[in-house]
Amino acid sequence: MATVGELLNSGTARLRRAGSESARLDAELLLGWAVGVERTALLAHPEAPVGADAAAAFEGAVVRREAGEPVAYIRGLKEFYGLAFGVDRRALIPRPETELLVAEAEREVAWRLTAAPRPAGTPDVRVVDVGTGSGAIAIALATLLRRRRMLPEVSILAVDCSADALNLARENAVAHAVAEEVVFREADLLPAAEHPFDVILANLPYIPSAEIERLPVAASFEPRTALDGGPDGLAVIRRLLSALPSALAPEGTALLEIGFDQGAAVEQAVAGLPGGWTCRVQADLSGRPRLASVERAAVGSTVANSSSAHSTGPGPTRPSVTGAR
């Protein structure tokens, strides 16, 4: 019977030969999954024997990883915002950089709930997650708001054009006990019957079509509709922006994840919207432009497409945002 250490060493060597840049970590995650323990437990007991069933499961997992399949799909699991999400080929694997969007969404909703008194009968804050995929953004936000006891005053809609992705998202909502709080809908972008929204969240596809083939092989396992943003990557995002004048409430905010090199193009698209709008692009933790905040320009303010322009809406000014450029 092979030991933990032997399987880790042979698996790591095979995955390294197959081109994985994280071969050791991959092997640890996959063996932990096969054995049913955390990888830290493996590291503590390299001499432990691995049973035949677990060794066979590990072998199958290594074969799949050698073919380029992402570790998250093999394990059926990805951690996002400290929560475990079920993932498979029905939807994009949630990325760490999208956690910035969730953090800003929580801040935005909390501000709306606390900036001014809310007498009985005040309508819910209406939030939509457009292109929800696995449901990561909507579900993480619902979980955060529940912890802060804010969820009863918020309604969350999660939309995707993929029925498969929505099924996965519903499963994740059940797993995180927010299936009653998040409404899932199959639609193209923002369903007109649901307008207007106070907060629009979107991590839509933004990779230029020609770049898709050049992505690491792992991305070829993800749905093309989750990645392909058209010729310059902004086809879907531009359509969303053009829907904002009717879909976003007068004091509403749209938070859009964008590619690190798309800030100027998004600002330009926002500047072309009718009626006067502002766009501010924030950087992610690695300092790269990542999140566009789009709002109607405040009456009397200079309409601009620069990162410094920002309407603040009624009530107290929001706290300043870390990473804004």
Ligand X SMILES: C[S@@+](CC[C@H](N)C(=O)[O-])C[C@H]1O[C@@H](n2cnc3c(N)ncnc32)[C@H](O)[C@@H]1O
Which CB, 125 or 141, lies closer to ligand X?
141
* Interaction of residue 91 with ligand X, rule CB under 6 A: yes
Per the CB < 8 A criterion, the answer to whether 82 and 271 are in contact is no
Interior CA angle at 315 toward 312 and 321, to 5°?
40
* Interaction of residue 131 with ligand X, rule CB under 6 A: yes
* Interaction of residue 183 with ligand X, rule CB under 6 A: no
* Interaction of residue 79 with ligand X, rule CB under 6 A: no
In DSSP terms, 183 is beta-bridged to 157
- Cβ at position 60, least distance to ligand X in Å: 26
Segment near ligand X (CB under 6 A); pick from 30-38, 112-120, 198-206, 306-314: 198-206
Location of structure tokens 């006891």: 149
Which CB, 37 or 218, lies closer to ligand X?
218
* Interaction of residue 86 with ligand X, rule CB under 6 A: no
What string marks each residue from 146 to 165 as x (binds ligand X by CB under 6 A) or -?
-------------xxxx--x
- Cβ at position 99, least distance to ligand X in Å: 10
Interface residue with ligand X, options 155, 172, 225, 262 (CB under 6 A)? 225
Q: Please work out the total of residues on this chain that contact ligand X, with binding judged by CB under 6 A.
A: 24
Q: How far apart are CA 65 and CA 86, in angstroms?
A: 18
* Interaction of residue 133 with ligand X, rule CB under 6 A: yes
Interface residue with ligand X, options 34, 141, 226, 266 (CB under 6 A)? 226
- Phi, psi dihedral angles at 190 (to 5 degrees): -105, 110
Report how far apart the first and last C-alpha atoms of the chain are (Å, whole number).
56
Token digits of residue 11: 């698996």
* Interaction of residue 262 with ligand X, rule CB under 6 A: no
* Interaction of residue 137 with ligand X, rule CB under 6 A: yes
DSSP-derived 3-state class of residue 274: coil
- Cβ at position 290, least distance to ligand X in Å: 12
* Interaction of residue 256 with ligand X, rule CB under 6 A: no
Token digits of residue 187: 């639609």
The type of residue at 208 is P
Tell which residue, 64, 49, 70, 34, has the closest CA to residue 217.
70
Per the CB < 8 A criterion, the answer to whether 35 and 7 are in contact is no
Which CB, 160 or 181, lies closer to ligand X?
160
- Phi, psi dihedral angles at 196 (to 5 degrees): -95, 165
The CA distances from residue 173 to 85, 101, 141, 218, 255, in Å, are 9, 19, 11, 26, 22
* Interaction of residue 134 with ligand X, rule CB under 6 A: yes
Residues that bind ligand X (CB under 6 A): 91-92, 94, 98, 130-134, 136-137, 159-162, 165, 188-189, 203-205, 225-226, 236
